[in-house]
Amino acid sequence: MTHIARSGKDRAFDIVNYGFAILLILAIIYPLWFIIIASFSNPSDVATGQVWFWPKHWSLKGYEALFNQPIIWRSYLNTILYTGIGTLFALLVNIPAGYALSRDDLLGRKWINLAYVIPMFISGGLVPVYLTVKGVGLLNSFWVMIIPFAVSPYNIIVARTFFKQTIPASLWEAAQVDGSGTFRYFFQIVIPLSKAVLAVVGLWTAVGIWNQWFNALIYLQDQNLQPLQLILRRILITNQQLAGNTTGQLAAELQQLADMMKYASIVISTLPIMALYPFLQKYFNQGVMLGSVKG
């Protein structure tokens, strides 16, 4: 193999590229790292700017204050259930819809596609949706966080593009020769070949449900059904109000505690979702190009 000597300009270009990439990575990672170390640091050290890369004095006050709230554990369980069941239900709804729209023999496919595209730009509004949810009896129930918002036109279009570009029509023809029907073909052939789109749509859906708090604020009045994000929001607002209604040393201590709880809440609310990325990363990298045009 012939070795091609690199010029000084090429090496300088590589150094600049690697240097820029390292700076970009640090700019992304450091804020996340600071949140983690700040959640374990003494509040006064964080407030005075003494925490940079490692806690100066370790403290678990923020976590203790959060976990001493009995409703936290119930809301955490609610969020896990909403995310797990909601993701499975969304996949059950969106993936078959995307596959159906990818079939050229679907009757009225053009108009059905248009029906999915329009809601991406025009929403019915909060009041009609609320009245619909109330009318079907889902208001203030467990399933209000799962069923009404499971259909995602964007995810359906992504799935449709994947099936259209990745699953060749010859597979369906071969399956028909072997006596396979539509359902058997979909579950035994299409689904095993669609791990990338399943992982991507599932991850997008899980992140959206995990971070959801507005729907819970509107449709859930029962505190025992509310998710973690809404409970954390209420706790943080309450602590900020307490700090604002007091003066002197007590106000400073309450403000520091509120900041500690804020950092701790960010960590405990994002850690489970961040733990999923290493397992889905290879599929997610493939899914980034799902909508690209093949040459």
Cα gap 267→280, rounded to integer Å? 20
pLDDT value, residue 293 = 44
Nearest of 117, 189, 193 to residue 156 by alpha carbon: 117
**Tens of pLDDT, residues 44-87:** 777 677 777 877 777 777 787 777 877 888 888 899 999 999 99
| Integer Cα distance of 40 and 55 in angstroms | 7
Question: Which CA distances in Å does 63 have to 53, 271, 287?
Answer: 20, 14, 36
The terminus-to-terminus CA distance of the chain in angstroms comes to 30
* pLDDT reported for residue 142: 92
Residue 27: band (very low, low, confident or very high) from pLDDT cuts 50, 70, 90:
confident
Q: Does this model's pTM top 0.95? A: no
Provide the pLDDT for residue 1: 46
The structure tokens 């029962």 sit at: 222
Mean pLDDT value across residues 190-216: 87
Provide φ and ψ at 220, rounded to 5°.
Answer: -120, 115
Residue 93 pLDDT greater than 90, yes or no: yes
User: pLDDT value at position 89?
Assistant: 95
What torsion do the CA atoms of 245, 247, 250, 252 make, to the nearest 10 degrees? Answer: 90
d(CA 202, CA 208): 10
* Fold of the 63-287 domain: MetI-like fold (1.10.3720)
